[in-house]
Structure 1
Amino acid sequence: MPRARSSTAGHPRFTKQCRARMHSAIVLSDHFAAPPPRPATSDECSSAVQWPRRRVAPARIERREKCMVKHQEVGDWLDERQQRFVNISDQIWGFAEVALAETKSCQLQAEDLEADGFRITRNVGGLPTAFVAEWGEGSPVIGFLGEYDALPDLSQKNQAAQEQLVAGGAGHGCGHNLLGTASLAAASALKAWLQETGRPGTVRYYGCPAEETGAGKVFMARAGAFDGLDAAITWHPGSSISAMRGSSLAIDHATFRFFGKTSHAAGAPELGRSALDAVELMNIGVNFLREHIIEAARIHYVITNGGGQPNVVPAEAEVWYYIRAPRRDLVDPITKRVLAIANAAAAMTETRVEVHDLYGIHNFLPNQTLATLAMGVLDELGPMEFTAEEEAFAREV
């Protein structure tokens, strides 16, 4: 209401804020070599001061217009083939295959890209569900990373309410059915654009298994699958659309398998050497360790084998650990201390410990230049538009 606006503008602190806004606008105006806006009247002070427009060089405007034409062309190409990619995503959702068992998902993607003219290399790094699809020749060499593994015990019907599709089955809690399919679509679209324009370049799509356990890309990298890349692009479903500029946590994985001596827990407990006791003592030791590691570190574990039944002293028990920290050099000393705790737990219980599947992954190395470029494109494309049906579904979830 005008009356309310007038009384608010008369407040001394509010008037000062308006002047501060005007000063900021004038400073920006000088910086961009544009004339400052006219001073606001008291009735206008309650609304935001208009920021001056930045003057853009004609060459930059022309380049931006050309970029928008490219975006539109690629967008049209994807829209025309939308059902192809939706079908792939839906099938992978239904397969819901866990790490290193993504046989159908891997085959589906490889066959789709092979039909699109890509050269397929299977069993990359000795992993049956890893493959590389390549098209073109010369530079630049652009890689798109895709994933398609599901998580155990997350089976879910395609609906808002939580209800398992398969009792106790796996499901795509992280949306890897979308992740792999969208990366595949991007690789296919880039290939089509290079064909259309006659430009040189090589497009690669990486079918990466076992992301949820962190193993797949390690073996692929050891096999040299990523050699020769000029840029690697990936993404992950989330609640916002942006280019990732930050890093991730480096991680070590390990399973600790303890071996003791079985005995009847009531009749002759003194003859037994409990492997489960060793697991529990190890976990207690690690929990006390948390006080003496950096705040940004994370340690998680699950007991994967705790014995058969209570009246039998467990001869075998196992615990699975993840150890994380911001950088590789910060993870290593923590892992060393966890290993020492495991050996100490074995000594206290007169059991034996074996360490299996000990491997690590470095923290994510962001490409700031590429992230800035990607964010610029996202800004030009603008926000996503959702139908009323999609918004209703989101509210129901």
Structure 2
Amino acid sequence: MMRRNRKHLTVLVLAGLLSLVWLFQLTNKSRFLQKAFVTEIREYAITKPICLPNKTLSTTEDLLCMEMPSFLPDYKNPCWRNGDGRLRCLPYFMQIGMSKSGSTDLFDRITQHPDILGNQGVVGKETRWWSWIRYGTTLIRKAKKKTFEDYLNLFNKPALVIDSPTKTDENGFHFAITGDGSPMDAWDFRGWTQIPQNKGLKEPQVLTPDLVRHVNKNTKFIMIMRNPVERLYSDYYFMRLAGDSSLHFHNSVVASIAILNQCLRNNSMLTCLTGNEQHQLWNRAARIHIGFYSEHVKQWLRVFPRKQILFLRTEDYSADVSSHMSQIFNFLGSRPLTATEMKSYGISLEAKKHVTARKKAKGPMLQKTRELLTALYEPYNKKLAEILHEDRFLWRD
């Protein structure tokens, strides 16, 4: 009897010990998950960068030290008047991302709406100021630095239209808006080293989204993205990079991935994607960096709420232009257009603008290249789908 009791007691003790081990592992796992959750929250927390007077890193303006005027309440577009009474305006919306995803075609259709205006930048669309011109650079060359005042000047003509009686209702409300359609603003953050708040940092803490928010926290954004594999192939021939065939493209992709892997040995993905040296190397091979959409989107959602950013897929837009344009006009709060108006303004026409004809002439991508790029982008597509809660951004269709 005693032996049986001892055996029973031993079993109970062992069961108890196993339970303690299980609880310990569960607690550690819970702490890990909790830590990961907190990290995720911190990652998307709205940053509050501050003005650093007399600590400028270069001749680049410290936008965070600028006190923005109050916008006029009887204007839909963010506008104010100078001391001389002249109307000054910022863009109501910014169409950012992604290069070779149909951004030019989309912006052109948006600004065919009678109440939506372009700007005085490149092709009436791209100011290129936030990412390039304010830092004295373009894609690969240096340029003369332009100030915030220079940026505002690109909206002088739209401001005149916004201020006109033809764009004013019977209650005196000015309903016209203007936009900035610079796709590089979504992904090109190379100028971060010239932002005073980043002085001495290895990795940026203040980026374009932070600066835009300081200027106008209510800015609306439209971001259009294309399957990153297809985007890169079109981009390669559009940019006329390292060669002129599918085999040249494959070799360029291999070279670009090697550049990324070399950088990632000692740096984070953010550091690599915002590094000027890496950009210049990719610009001479294949611009794979643009296709890591989740990494770029995170920076915008870190600062702006989801409701202010409309995310579109090129594939969906191309399949049904009219419904997407109606969705965009609704998002911008502009009056809806009838099917007849859409057609008369050229908004619903099927023909696309700026098709990369050179890519078509070169034939399809090599299968080995497609497999390589699919493997490269798949984890980031998954992350993007998780962030946006949209499985269509997996690009499995």
**TM-score surpassing 0.5?**
no
* Higher normalized contact order (CA 8 Å, seq sep 6+, divided by chain length): 2
Structure having the higher strand fraction is 1
TM-score by length of 2: 0.25
When Rg is computed on C-alpha atoms for both structures, the one with the higher figure is 1
TM-score by length of 1: 0.25
Structure having the higher helix fraction is 2
